[in-house]
Structure 1
């Protein structure tokens, strides 16, 4: 899916059915539903979910929790604007959507 198609889907009541949890979380966060977004990734154990989880705690204003999840995701904490990071994560996850998730050991 292209980023514009993903953004266009934000006018709908529900996310596209084929989205994995990290992308569903980004969809819900873009619509202002942080709790729903967080619930979708908090129990997932893959790098994509950890990255989105970090972003969500950044949105929440909890940099310490965000730093923990960036570390779990194997990424440095982001200093870009929230909108820029949302786009970066969304584009990357859309590009790799067909790839299997990497399971984590913890």
Structure 2
């Protein structure tokens, strides 16, 4: 199932994420629902995979744990994001929705 960014955002009003999302996107969906713990568990389960590590960095930034966020940005081989958390979430979702 192909999910657009707009549909992804609309789905945040649903009880669960759209079917067929990758796990990193599912983590971002839960983060979008303000369920940090659930999102973090998914990110942890895929440690060592760049997409998971990148989401993990974002989640620690949300938490306010910048040293830990920096660690995960390095693990994902990505520069630290220097814009708002909201924009980082949008950039991540759009990037992961694009094959």
Is residue 45 of structure 2 the alignment partner of residue 55 of structure 1? Answer: no
2-structure distance, mates of 1:41, 1:20: 11
* Structure 1: 5+ residue stretches without partners: 97-106
After TM superposition, list the pairs within 5 Å mapping 1:76-95 onto structure 2: 76-95=79-98
Q: Bigger relative contact order, structure 1 or 2, given CA contacts below 8 A and separation 6+?
A: 1
Equivalenced residue count is 96
Structure 2: 5+ residue runs without aligned partners? none
Larger fraction in helix: 2
Could you state the TM-score of these two structures normalised by the residue count of structure 1? 0.88
Paired with 1:30 and 1:78, the residues of 2 have a C-alpha distance of 18
Deviations 1:24-76 (A, max 9, x none): 01000110100000001112031111100000000000000000000111101
CA RMSD between the two structures: 0.7
Equivalent in the alignment of 2:30: 28
Partner of 1:101: none
Say if 2:24 is the partner of 1:17. Answer: no
